[in-house]
Structure 1
Amino acid sequence: MDLNLEDKIVVICGAAGKKGSIGETILRRLVDEGAIPAVIDRNDRGFTYVDEIKKQGIDALFCKTDVTEPGQIESAMNEIISKYGRIDVVLNNVGVNDGVGLDASYEEFMNSLKLNLVSYFLIVKHALPYLKKSKGNILNIGSKVALTGQGRTSGYAAAKGGVLGLTREWAVDLVPFGIRSNAIIIAESWTPAYDDWIKTVPNGEEKLKSIIKKIPFENRMTTTEEIASTCLFTISDRSSHTTGQFIHVDGGYVHLDRAVLTEN
C-alpha cells in the first residue's frame, strides 16, 4: 500500500535514540517511504543519522535541541521553516520514564513535565500555522502508564496523561482547519532503553519472563517495527478520517482480561 508520504515534511521529535529505539525505527521507516524528516533531539546521534539518510538520496535536517528549553524549540522550528517552508506532520516522540516520584522535589517534577509534556505543546504551537496551510496532522506517542499507573513515576505518569488530554483537545480544536490529532499508546516494547533497564533489576531475566508472560497476544513484546508501521499508517492520508484516537499497539496488554487467558 502506497502511503503517499513521499516528500512530506515530517517534524519528528525524539528520533536520535540508539539504533532500534522507537524514534530511530520510525525515522528509518519514514525515509523508506520517501518522507523528509526534520529531526529534533538533544543527542548528537542525530547528525550521524541525517548524514546516513542524505547518502540514501533523501533530504533531511537535524536540529540539536534541548526540548526543555522553549527558546531552543522555537529556534529549531524556525530553522525547519527556513529550509522547507512547510510542515505536513508533527510526530512527538519524546519520553523518558525518569522515576520522578512522590519523593521528588518540585523542580524535579516540573522538569519531568517540561520534557515529557510541555515540549509536545511547544512543538505543535510553533508548527500550527504551517499545519493549517498543509492541513497536516499530529501524532503523539503515549504510554500505558497514563492509563494504568506504574508506581514511583509521578512526573512521567502525569505528563503522559497530559499528552492524551492534549491529543483529544487538539482534535477538537483543530477540526475547523482539517487537522487530525491522534496518539499511539505503547505498553511493553523491546528497545535499547528497556534492555538497559532490565539489566538494573534484581533477577532481571526472571522479571522479564514474568512481564512477557502477561502480554496476551503471542506472549511477546511489541516490536518497534510494529509501532513504526502503525505510526506511518496513522499519519498518512490512508487514515484520513481518524482523529482524536488513542491507538494501542500493545498485544492486548492494557485492555484484555488476562484472568481468562489460560496457558497452553
Structure 2
Amino acid sequence: MDLKLKDKVIVVTGGSKGIGFGICEVLAAEGAIIFIIGRNQPTIIKAAEDLEASGATVAFAFAELTDPKQCENAIKSAVERFGKIDGLVNNAGVNDGVSLENGNYEDFMSSLQKNLVHYYLMAHHALPELKKSKGAIVNIGSKTSVTGQGGTSGYAAANGGRNALTREWAVELLPYSIRVNAVMVAECFTPLYERWIKTFDEPEKKLKGITEKIPLENRMTTAREIGNSVAFLLSEASSHTTGQLVYVDGGYTHLDRAL
C-alpha cells in the first residue's frame, strides 16, 4: 500500500535505536523525510547514516528532552531545515524502575520528565506547523498504563498520562483536522529490553517465560511491526481515525493468558 508519505516531514523522538529506529526504517521505505531528535549523538549519527544509505532524507537535532528550551530549539531546527512538519512521533522514554516502596519524590518527578513532559513540549512546539499541514501525532505508549508491572510507578504513571493526552489532544485539535493516536507496546525486543532481561539470574529462561505468554505466535513484537502501525496512523489511509489507543502486541494485553 502506498501510504502517500513521500516527502512528508516526520519528527521522531528517540528515533536512533529500538522502536524508534524501527519506525524510522518504515517511514524511510515510504519515502518520508525523517527528523530525529534525541541526546545520544553517536547512535543518532549512525542511524542517520544507515537510513541515508537506504535512500532516505534524514536530519537530526541533539537535545536533552528533559530541558524545555532544548525541546523548543529542536523543533525550530526541523522547521528551519525543511520548512514544515507533517507528523510527530513521540517515542523517547525509558522504563526506569521508580517504585512506590523504594522510590522517592525526586526520582518519581524525574521519571515524569523523562517519559511524559517532553511529549507535551514536542506537540506544543510542533503545533503551529501541524495546523498548517493538517498533520498527525502518534504517541508511543505501553501496556504498563493498563496492566501495571510492579516496581515502576513513574513509568506507569507517565504512560497513563500519554494515553490521556492522546485523547485530550484528539479532542482539542479536531478544529484543525489534526489526528492524534497512540500505538501501545507490550513486549518488543529492543536494546533496552535486552538489558532488562539480563538483570535476571537466568535471562534466557525469563525471556522464554514471557514469549510463551504472547498469544499470537508466542513471539516478541518487532520494532518494524510497531513502525508499520505508526506509519499507517500518520498517513491518509487512516484519515478518519483519531483518539485511538492501538495495541500492537500479539494479543498480550487483552487476550486470555491461559491460551
CA distance in 2, matches of 1:212, 1:243: 31
- The superposition leaves residues 79-109 of structure 1 with CA deviations (integer Å, 9 ceiling, x where unpaired) of 1111112110000101200001122221211
Partner of 1:49: 47
3-state SS in 1 of match to 2:171: helix
Greater CA deviation, 229-238 or 125-134? Answer: 229-238
- The answer to whether the 8 A contact 2:14-2:38 is kept is yes
Distance 2:135 2:171 in 1: 15
SS, match of residue 258 in structure 1: coil
| Residue in structure 2 matched with residue 70 of structure 1 by the alignment | 68
For residue 35 of structure 1, what is the aligned residue in structure 2? 32
Total equivalences in the alignment = 257
State the Cα distance separating 1:56 from its structure 2 match. Answer: 4.4
TM-score scaled by length of structure 2: 0.96
Q: What is residue 56 of structure 2 aligned with on the other side? A: 58
Unaligned 5+ runs, structure 2: none
Give per-residue Cα distances to partners, 1:4-24, cap 9 Å, x unaligned: 00000001001122xxx1111
Q: Which amino acid aligns with 2:66?
A: T
Amino acid at match of 2:121: L
Equivalent position SS for 1:128: helix
State how far apart, in whole Å, the 1-side matches of 2:188 and 2:73 are.
33
Alpha-carbon distance in structure 2 between the residues aligned to 1:47 and 1:190: 22
User: Which amino acid in structure 1 is aligned with residue 124 of structure 2?
Assistant: K
CA drift at 1:219: 1.2
Cα offset, 1:55, TM superposition: 4.4
1:213-245, Cα deviation, whole Å (9 max, x unpaired): 111111111111211111111111111110000
Deviation at 1:29, TM superposition (A): 1.5
TM-score of the pair, normalised by structure 1: 0.94
Counterparts of 1:101 and 1:68, CA distance in 2: 20
Post-superposition shift, 1:154?
0.6
Partner of 2:114: 115
SS for the counterpart of 2:57 is coil
> Could you tell which deviates more after superposition, 160-169 or 27-36?
27-36
C-alpha separation between the residues in 2 aligned to 1:240 and 1:168? 16
Counterpart residue number, 1:250: 249
Q: 1:232 maps to what in 2?
A: 231
- Paired with 2:223 and 2:129, the residues of 1 have a C-alpha distance of 29
CA distance in 1 between partners of 2:251 and 2:50 (Å): 36
Q: For each residue in 1:35-85, what CA deviation from the matched residue of structure 2 results, as whole angstroms up to 9, or x when unmatched?
A: 001110111111222234344443221100100000110111111111112
Alignment of 1:13 onto 2:10 = no
Unpaired segments of 5 or more residues in structure 1?
Answer: none
For 1:158, the aligned partner's letter is A
CA distance in 2, matches of 1:219, 1:52: 30
Aligned to 1:223: 222
User: Counterpart of 2:4?
Assistant: 4
Distance 1:142 1:36 in 2: 23
Tell me, in whole angstroms, the C-alpha distance in 1 between the residues paired with 2:177 and 2:12. 20
Structure 1 residues 56 and 258: CA distance shift in structure 2, 3 A: closer
More off after superposition, 29-38 vs 144-153: 29-38
Q: 2:114, 2:192 → 1: CA distance?
A: 17
Matches within 5 A, 1:122-201: 122-201=121-200
Distance 1:249 1:112 in 2: 24
